């Protein structure tokens, strides 16, 4: 299904349209909007990590200046359970059980944030305290498993992966056994972020692949090439498109992987190591609608999407311009308003696939109407003028098999849909301190048609940076005496800053058009860049100083302990 | 955060006169005080702004003495030619502190008065656990909980926190004096004695006291003796910028041929004060400027380190930081 097709504008792409607003500080974010009469809400959290709520007394808080209300469970409606793919199913205020410290037990409403925060401190929460369950000490229970083939003949022992999505999708295997265990502890479920499905499991799988290569005395790239899956290992379906082998080869060429150990191994105090890993993400697709209004001076795209900084405004306008055959600067984007045509959510790397397809369909509807008016084949603005019409409205939708509201990995179609890639990293290790520094990275990705190379490259670069943070810095500690999170603000949780990131991050894409995945040939890209980086970095550390760190993040004292 | 009154001081003396009540706070750059207010670490009825006092500005050299006004920002100190030339370790420490934006606001006077970054101490209100610094007498949760980044020298059962300032380490290594002004007039405090370990504070009968600065005193500036030789500040942190040190080291070295003639070295983030390695300084003259020769000297000087169960690595890391700082100061790496 892979075909080369050059669609769209100049190959270098378009800079993001909202860039000047953000750079000049003129962009308005949610908190910049202050409607009249707005109140500020602050959540009051349970002060213990496990136990039962006996009562909440908000009377002292209500008496404070600026506080207008203190809401408890009795004042609130019953919140329904959230459907998948949400990671959190049970909403707070459902019962009196305290499952984690900070679990909301009341809401303070006030005329200012400061007053609301003062109110929070004045709310008296009465609860029965139980001993918190710490990570590593909770009850473990199996939640899901599946077998394919004669597993017992292949594996002597049960193979357990904490998150098995990547394991069932990546390598050709004669048989597969997947098991997941969930450990129940006194902590809240993290909000889904950054490849929440594949990310954790892929760290284990790709680390295991690297250790397997080392144990076998093989190049880790060759181990991947030898185990490439021609069809989906989970169910034998053919891939909608899969350029992973090409990505491996191109990435190795760009990085100089085969000659890595011929280059100097030291740079001042830094010992240099190299590591690689496969990247993969499932494919989330959501249905949605969009509208394109063609006017004499240009087109207006309407969709109720939400732009979280990924370039949605740029890309959707660009898709409409491509389809209509007009310049992108003649397209205006209207978004972020629930009165506009309803689209899918902004998560799961799904917006370009779903909403982009709906926009393309709406533009094609306009083109079709122009043809019906006898104005086909012309510049559409000129055609509108000739037809004496002020506005033509095209409607478009993106729909899923069986009218589903959500579709993962092409379920219900003859094809398995996923995204692929490879990441190579060069890491410096200072053995005096156990410090790591990223020196360069090469990522090559197979993700269908790339609508806008500039914003696509920015997303993948951001993913790699995020992956570096996951690999080397970010840690949320469960405080052992209380069971709550040790730090609740970023002053004690490091994420990468510019100084951590070298200029030499080389991102490219294989040339593909995936007509199965979407109307526009694209698959999702956003989170793909964040996958694999952790395992590649761990392999690079091992390559540099021979220390194998298996628990993230790879902090200095873990490296020092192995030296 | 509660409401507070705000006034600008017209002179340093006038500012000091307002400090008699405990409910008055001095503000200059404001990069730390507002954190305290928001987290509930401190509250004040009145805030006196000394940011407009030109008498507390300026960086000058008078013979063999470098003078730095308390209101010089970290970037002004770090980028000043006189400081780079005569106190390179201090310049480097300033430029490795915080972020560019914070360095443009934060002053060298206030910097040494920042408080520990211990996550137990920096927790939000209402305080979720015992912390003697926040709630005297309640206990130290870090000791029984997490303490990778805490002290290996001078701690007590009451508190295991470290002082995080980078410039303070360089000021202590370079034998700087703080000029302070109080109700009784000016006095000086040597920077190697300015901060107190928990053990020193307990010996004074004030276990939670952190500095020798009185509650009604103001830092007006610093004076540093200028001496020949190279200097360096080594800061170890997992993030390359905008992060506190896991450990750090400041060193000044004068060479004679390839051997050390005189050296000064202080460790940072290993105690509640900069930790001068006096025993090493006494032993270093005559020692070759090599890693192999320096390691045993530093190890002997750190023999009284008392790491906690989770921070034994800091002894190795601090030793290596001291060696790296000496080698770099001497021009050997």
- The whole-angstrom separation of Cα B72 and Cα B266 is 23
Cβ-Cβ contacts under 8 Å, B324 against chain A: 269, 432
Cβ-Cβ contacts under 8 Å, A114 against chain B: 1
Tell me whether the CATH fold assigned to A194-282+415-562 matches the one assigned to A285-408. yes
Residues A320 and A301: beta-carbon distance below 8 Å: yes
Chain segment B126-139, per-residue pLDDT in tens: 899 999 999 999 99
Looking at the fold, whether B194 and B238 belong to one and the same domain comes out as no
Looking at the fold, whether B172 and B256 belong to one and the same domain comes out as no
Helices (H) and strands (E) in chain B, counts: 14, 12
**Given CB atoms, is A556 within the 8 Å cutoff of chain B?**
yes
Name the catalytic one among A101, A198, A302, A527: A527
Number of structural domains (chain B) is 2
CA atoms within 13 Å, Cβ hemisphere of A221: 24
Using beta carbons and an 8 Å cutoff, which residues of B are at the interface with A?
A: 1-2, 40, 99, 117, 119-120, 122-126, 128-129, 141, 144-146, 148, 236-243, 246, 313, 316-317, 320-321, 323-324, 333
Buried b (16+ CB within 10 A) or exposed e, B42-59: eebeebbebbebeebbeb
Looking at the fold, whether B109 and B252 belong to one and the same domain comes out as no
Is A515 catalytic? The answer is: no
Looking at the fold, whether B201 and B320 belong to one and the same domain comes out as no
Last residue of a domain, one of B225, B249, B271: B225
Chain segment B273-305, per-residue pLDDT in tens: 999 999 999 999 999 999 999 999 999 999 999
Q: Could you say which DSSP state residue A416 is in?
A: B
Is the residue at B28 inside a domain?
A: no
pLDDT band at A92 (very low <50, low <70, confident <90, very high): confident
Task: CATH number of the domain at B245, please.
Answer: 3.30.390.50
Chain segment A108-124, per-residue pLDDT in tens: 999 999 899 999 999 99
Looking at the fold, whether B71 and B176 belong to one and the same domain comes out as yes
Looking at the fold, whether B240 and B214 belong to one and the same domain comes out as no
pLDDT recorded at residue A55: 96
Residues B314 and B307: beta-carbon distance below 8 Å: yes
- The whole-angstrom separation of Cα A189 and Cα A195 is 15
What residue of B is the nearest CA neighbor of A497? B241
Is the residue at B40 inside a domain?
A: no
Task: CATH number of the domain at B79, please.
Answer: 3.30.465.10
Cβ-Cβ contacts under 8 Å, B320 against chain A: 432-433
Is the residue at B209 inside a domain?
A: yes
- The whole-angstrom separation of Cα A139 and Cα A181 is 10
pLDDT recorded at residue A9: 46
Cβ-Cβ contacts under 8 Å, B239 against chain A: 473, 494, 496-497, 499-500
Looking at the fold, whether B68 and B208 belong to one and the same domain comes out as yes
Is the residue at B41 inside a domain?
A: no
Nearest CB neighbour to A433, from listed B40, B144, B320? B320
Cβ-Cβ contacts under 8 Å, B317 against chain A: 432-434, 556-557, 560
Q: Could you say which DSSP state residue B135 is in?
A: S
The DSSP code sequence of B279-323 is: HHHHH-TT-BSSHHHHHHHHHHHTTT----TT-THHHHHHHHHHH
Host H or E run for residue B115: none
Among 1.10.3720.10, 3.90.1170.50, 3.40.50.300, 3.60.15.10, what is the CATH number of A37-129? 3.90.1170.50
Q: Does A494 sit within 8 Å of B238, measured CB to CB?
A: yes
Question: Looking at CA atoms only, how far is residue A188 from chain B in angstroms?
Answer: 17
Structure-token pair, residue B80: 């000043």
Task: Give every CB contact of residue A303 below 8 A, 6+ residues apart in sequence.
Answer: A288, A289, A290, A291, A316, A334, A335, A340, A341, A343, A355, A358, A359
Last residue of a domain, one of B225, B245, B266: B225
Residues B307 and B160: beta-carbon distance below 8 Å: no
CATH class of the region A285-408: alpha beta
- The whole-angstrom separation of Cα A74 and Cα A56 is 10
Q: Which domain holds residue B255?
A: 230-329
Is the residue at B257 inside a domain?
A: yes
Is the residue at B300 inside a domain?
A: yes
Could you give the C-alpha distances from B29 to A356, B48, B71, B225, in angstroms and in order? 48, 12, 8, 26
Structure-token pair, residue B47: 């805030």
As a whole number, the mean pLDDT across chain B is 96
Q: Does A433 sit within 8 Å of B146, measured CB to CB?
A: no
Chain segment A434-474, per-residue pLDDT in tens: 999 999 999 999 999 999 999 999 999 999 999 999 999 99
Looking at the fold, whether B284 and B300 belong to one and the same domain comes out as yes
pLDDT recorded at residue A91: 82
Q: Could you say which DSSP state residue A272 is in?
A: E
Looking at the fold, whether B262 and B220 belong to one and the same domain comes out as no
Helices (H) and strands (E) in chain A, counts: 13, 19
Q: Could you say which DSSP state residue A401 is in?
A: G
Domain ranges of chain A: 37-129, 194-282+415-562, 285-408
Burial of A80 per CB tally in 10 Å (0-12, 13-18, 19+): exposed
Nearest CB neighbour to B238, from listed A118, A268, A555? A555
**Lowest mean pLDDT, pick from A191-205, A228-242, B49-63, B252-266:** A191-205
Structure-token pair, residue A200: 């954790």
Cβ-Cβ contacts under 8 Å, B122 against chain A: 487, 489, 491-492
- The whole-angstrom separation of Cα A465 and Cα A463 is 5
**Given CB atoms, is A113 within the 8 Å cutoff of chain B?**
no
- The whole-angstrom separation of Cα B70 and Cα B131 is 31
Nearest CB neighbour to A499, from listed B119, B124, B241? B241
pLDDT recorded at residue A309: 86
When pLDDT is averaged across residues B177-183 and rounded to a whole number, the result is: 97
What residue of B is the nearest CA neighbor of A562? B313
What residue of A is the nearest CA neighbor of B235? A433
Q: Which residues pair with A445 in a beta bridge?
A: A421, A509
Looking at the fold, whether B218 and B318 belong to one and the same domain comes out as no
- The whole-angstrom separation of Cα A262 and Cα A264 is 7
Is the residue at B12 inside a domain?
A: no
**Given CB atoms, is A269 within the 8 Å cutoff of chain B?**
yes
Looking at the fold, whether B88 and B195 belong to one and the same domain comes out as yes
- Is the preceding omega at residue A553 within 30 degrees of 0, hence cis? yes
Question: Looking at CA atoms only, how far is residue A101 from chain B in angstroms?
Answer: 10
Last residue of a domain, one of B178, B210, B225: B225
CATH of domain A194-282+415-562: 3.30.365.10
Cβ-Cβ contacts under 8 Å, B240 against chain A: 437, 497, 499-500
Give CA angle at B245 (A271, B262), nearest 5°: 80
Indicate whether A53 pLDDT > 50: yes
Looking at the fold, whether B95 and B175 belong to one and the same domain comes out as yes
Structure-token pair, residue A399: 């729909």
Is the residue at B4 inside a domain?
A: no
What residue of A is the nearest CA neighbor of B146? A479
Chain segment A134-158, per-residue pLDDT in tens: 999 998 887 766 666 655 443 333 3
pLDDT band at B161 (very low <50, low <70, confident <90, very high): very high
**Given CB atoms, is A161 within the 8 Å cutoff of chain B?**
no
Q: Does B119 sit within 8 Å of A492, measured CB to CB?
A: yes
pLDDT recorded at residue A85: 60
Q: Could you say which DSSP state residue A83 is in?
A: P
**Given CB atoms, is A437 within the 8 Å cutoff of chain B?**
yes
Question: Looking at CA atoms only, how far is residue A191 from chain B in angstroms?
Answer: 21
- The residue written with tokens 């019906």 in the block is A372
Q: Could you say which DSSP state residue A145 is in?
A: E
Q: Give ipTM to 2 decimals.
A: 0.96
């Amino acid at each position: 299904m892979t075909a080369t097709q050059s669609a769209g504008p100049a190959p270098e792409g378009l800079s993001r349209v909202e860039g000047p607003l953000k750079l000049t500080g003129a962009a308005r974010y949610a908190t910049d909007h202050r409607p009249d009469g707005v109140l500020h809400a602050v959540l009051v959290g349970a002060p213990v990590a496990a136990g039962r709520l006996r009562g909440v007394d908000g009377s002292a808080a209500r008496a404070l200046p600026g506080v207008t209300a203190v809401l408890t469970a009795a004042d609130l409606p019953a919140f329904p359970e959230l459907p998948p793919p949400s990671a959190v199913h049970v909403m707070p205020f459902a019962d009196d059980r305290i499952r984690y410290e900070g679990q909301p037990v009341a809401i303070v409403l006030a005329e200012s944030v400061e007053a609301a925060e003062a109110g929070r401190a004045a709310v008296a929460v009465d609860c029965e305290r139980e001993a918190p369950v710490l990570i590593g000490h909770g009850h473990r229970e199996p939640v899901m498993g599946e077998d394919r083939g004669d597993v017992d003949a292949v594996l002597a022992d049960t193979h357990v992966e904490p998150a098995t999505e990547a394991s069932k999708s990546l390598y050709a295997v004669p048989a597969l056994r997947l098991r997941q265990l969930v450990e129940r502890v006194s902590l809240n479920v993290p909000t889904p972020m950054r490849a929440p499905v594949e990310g954790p499991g892929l760290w284990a799988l790709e680390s295991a692949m690297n250790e397997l290569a080392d144990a076998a005395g093989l190049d880790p790239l060759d181990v991947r090439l030898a185990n490439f899956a021609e069809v989906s290992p989970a169910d034998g379906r053919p891939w909608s498109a899969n350029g992973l082998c090409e990505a491996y080869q191109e990435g190795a060429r760009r990085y100089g992987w085969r000659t890595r150990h011929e280059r100097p191994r030291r740079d001042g105090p830094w010992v240099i190591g190299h590591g690689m890993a496969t990247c993969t993400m499932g494919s989330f697709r959501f249905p949605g609608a969009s509208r394109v209004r063609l006017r004499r001076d240009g087109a207006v795209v309407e969709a109720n999407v939400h732009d979280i900084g990924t370039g949605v405004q740029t890309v959707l306008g660009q898709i409409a311009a491509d389809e209509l055959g007009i310049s992108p600067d003649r397209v205006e984007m209207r978004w972020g308003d629930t009165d506009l045509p309803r689209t899918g959510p902004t998560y799961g790397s799904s917006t370009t696939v779903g909403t982009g397809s709906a926009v393309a369909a709406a533009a094609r509807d306009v083109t079709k109407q122009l043809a019906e008016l006898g104005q086909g084949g012309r510049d559409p603005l000129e055609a509108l003028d000739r037809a004496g019409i002020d506005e033509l409205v095209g409607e478009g939708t993106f729909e899923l098999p069986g009218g589903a509201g959500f579709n993962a990995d092409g379920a219900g179609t003859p094809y398995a849909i996923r995204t692929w890639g490879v990441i190579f990293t060069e890491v410096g290790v200072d053995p005096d301190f156990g410090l790591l520094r990223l020196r360069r990275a090469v990522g090559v990705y197979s993700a269908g048609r790339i609508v806008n190379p500039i914003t696509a490259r920015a997303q993948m670069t951001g993913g790699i940076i995020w992956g570096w943070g996951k690999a080397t810095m970010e840690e949320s500690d469960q405080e052992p005496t209380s069971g709550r999170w040790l730090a609740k603000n970023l002053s004690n949780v490091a994420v990468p800053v510019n100084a951590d990131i070298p200029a030499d991050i080389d991102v490219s894409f294989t040339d593909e058009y995936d007509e199965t995945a979407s109307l526009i040939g694209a698959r999702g890209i956003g989170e793909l860049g964040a996958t694999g980086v952790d395992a590649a970095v761990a392999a690079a550390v091992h390559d540099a100083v021979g220390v194998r760190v298996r628990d993230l993040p790879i902090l200095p004292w873990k490296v020092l302990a192995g030296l | 955060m509660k409401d507070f009154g705000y006034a600008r001081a017209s002179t340093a003396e006038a500012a000091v006169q307002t400090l008699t009540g405990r409910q008055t706070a001095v503000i200059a750059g404001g990069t730390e005080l507002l954190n305290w207010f928001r987290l509930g670490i401190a509250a004040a009825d009145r805030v006196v702004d000394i940011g407009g006092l030109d008498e507390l500005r300026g960086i000058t050299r008078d013979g063999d003495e470098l003078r730095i006004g308390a209101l010089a920002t970290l970037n002004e100190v770090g980028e000043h030619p006189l400081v780079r030339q005569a106190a390179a370790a201090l310049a480097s420490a300033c430029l490795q502190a915080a972020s560019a934006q914070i360095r443009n606001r934060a002053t060298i006077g206030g910097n040494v008065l920042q408080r520990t970054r211990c996550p137990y101490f920096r927790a939000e209100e209402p305080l979720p656990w015992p912390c003697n610094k926040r709630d005297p007498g309640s206990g130290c949760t870090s000791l029984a909980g997490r303490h990778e980044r805490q002290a290996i020298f001078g701690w007590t059962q009451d508190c295991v926190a470290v002082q995080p300032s980078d410039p303070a380490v360089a000021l202590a290594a370079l034998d700087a004096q703080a000029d302070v002004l109080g109700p009784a007039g000016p006095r000086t405090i040597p920077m190697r004695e300015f901060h107190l370990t928990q053990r020193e504070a307990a010996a004074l009968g004030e276990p939670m006291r952190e500095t020798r600065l009185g509650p009604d005193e103001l830092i007006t500036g610093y004076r540093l003796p200028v001496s020949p030789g190279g200097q360096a500040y080594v800061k170890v942190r997992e993030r390359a910028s905008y992060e506190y040190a896991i450990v750090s080291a400041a060193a000044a070295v004068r060479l004679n041929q390839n051997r050390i003639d005189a050296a000064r070295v202080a460790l940072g983030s290993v105690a509640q004060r900069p930790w001068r390695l006096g025993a090493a300084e006494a032993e270093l003259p005559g020692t070759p400027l090599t890693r192999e020769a320096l390691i045993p000297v530093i190890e002997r000087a750190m023999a009284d380190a008392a790491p906690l169960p989770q921070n034994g690595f800091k002894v190795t890391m601090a030793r290596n930081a001291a060696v790296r700082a000496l080698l770099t100061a001497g021009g050997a790496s």
